[in-house]
Structure 1
Amino acid sequence: MLLSDVVIGSTVDAAYYALVNECYFVPTRKTPLLFYESLDLPILMTDTVSKAWVKINLILGLLSKKIITSENCSIRVIDNQLKISRDNTVFKYNFEKLYIFDPTGISLENKIKKAKLKTFTVIDDFELSVLGPKRYELPNIERDSDFVKKLYFYSSDRVDGSNFITDCIVESELTQDQLNNFDYSDTMVKFAVKKYLESIGIHGRFMKYYASGKPKYRKPNVTHVKRLVFEKDNNVYEDTDQVKFTNMTIGEIIEESSKR
């Protein structure tokens, strides 16, 4: 099958580029759509990553511009041909131009211009209980740190009818060495969550006063549920006449399209 221009990527930026430029789109996103992710610029009447991703992919699908992939599919680029293997079937597409926003998981012939260590987006999910009075809002964390980079509290549907905080999610960006180091394990993330709760005055459930008048609390329970790990290819690859690598943002895409 001969296609004109094709975009491969895992971000809203990649999908939006495909939509604006009438390209075919190959989605490679493996990380879940997290409720706290937001866009720098609103598009299609939303500023959340999850809603924008779903909307753009729906539109591309209706326009027959979306190439279906699956979680376990393999993608290979040879010359001007794209091979996608899924469900024991190989789909081949010839293209004129290919724009790659994220090379992770793609087999490429392009030379590496600058080698960089791969990193891993690590998501740790925790159940919270015994926080004391029901908490409907707690300050989240976003900081310039690879370990416990983001911490967001939320209300989970595992507790029927709850509209108060029951869980939290922690995001880190780790190297392979860090991933194998106990100092960056889910146990250490758990300690970081407990320490943060204490720092914002969440001491747990009040039990009684000591003879000295000091209150006694039953400490909050922080239970690790699961850890998700997603690899990221950070190498810088050389462009060819037909295969281009880009990391354009939504703002840059809008600016470029406005000049036509």
Structure 2
Amino acid sequence: RVVSHILVTHTHRDHAPLARPLAVAVGGAPILAAQPPERTEHASGALDEDDDADFHPDEILTESEWIEGDGWTLEAMPTPGHASNHMAFVLRQENALFSGDHIMGWSTTVVAPPDGDMTDYMNSLEAVLARGFSTIWPTHGPAITQVAPFLKAYRDHRLEREAQIMARLASGDQLIADMVPVLYAAVDQRLWPAASLSVLAHLIKLEKDGRARASPRPELAATWRLTDPAF
């Protein structure tokens, strides 16, 4: 079969870098993706969630654009959160979603500021749930066929983590460095830098929701407090 298009869900380094060599190898198929974000680096050090600064798609995709081929039709579905430019792809003929890293089959996805945004992620999760897909094909992990229960469990996990963070704030914890050893006590400490970014993403969402406040600004080293001490 001829490769007619190369679709990239987002510009993280474990996804985008091989798009151009693949395009060359298959004779010049165009690379399609959402507009790359401004390059960001995470305060915890290098992660796979850092962007590929050299990635430049041939065509910029926007919401609800359709890409068609012999017997297939794909819809571009923006799903920001894991990355600001994350784009999933709906296979119309099978009511299926190629979810990239927005939804993974073996674990929850990382939402790492500054480019990752928990508010956007939760809104995108609700948008995917509302579509009623029959199958989700993630980049990482097996196919998801029990879609609604899986997505609801994903959502419940995030809401539970949010409640745990609120509880840590209510107990007197003010620093992410104090919360992570408690919230992730059962997790390998080598993963705590990534966990810290996830907690930061939740706290930024809580600040947007008016339930927490950072001093002096929302960042890893900030001091955090509940806006309602009676929580």
Please give the TM-score of this superposition, normalised by the length of structure 2: 0.35
Identify which of structures 1 and 2 has the higher relative contact order when contacts are C-alpha pairs closer than 8 Å and 6+ apart.
1
Higher helix share: 2
Q: Computing the radius of gyration over CA atoms, which structure comes out larger, 1 or 2?
A: 1
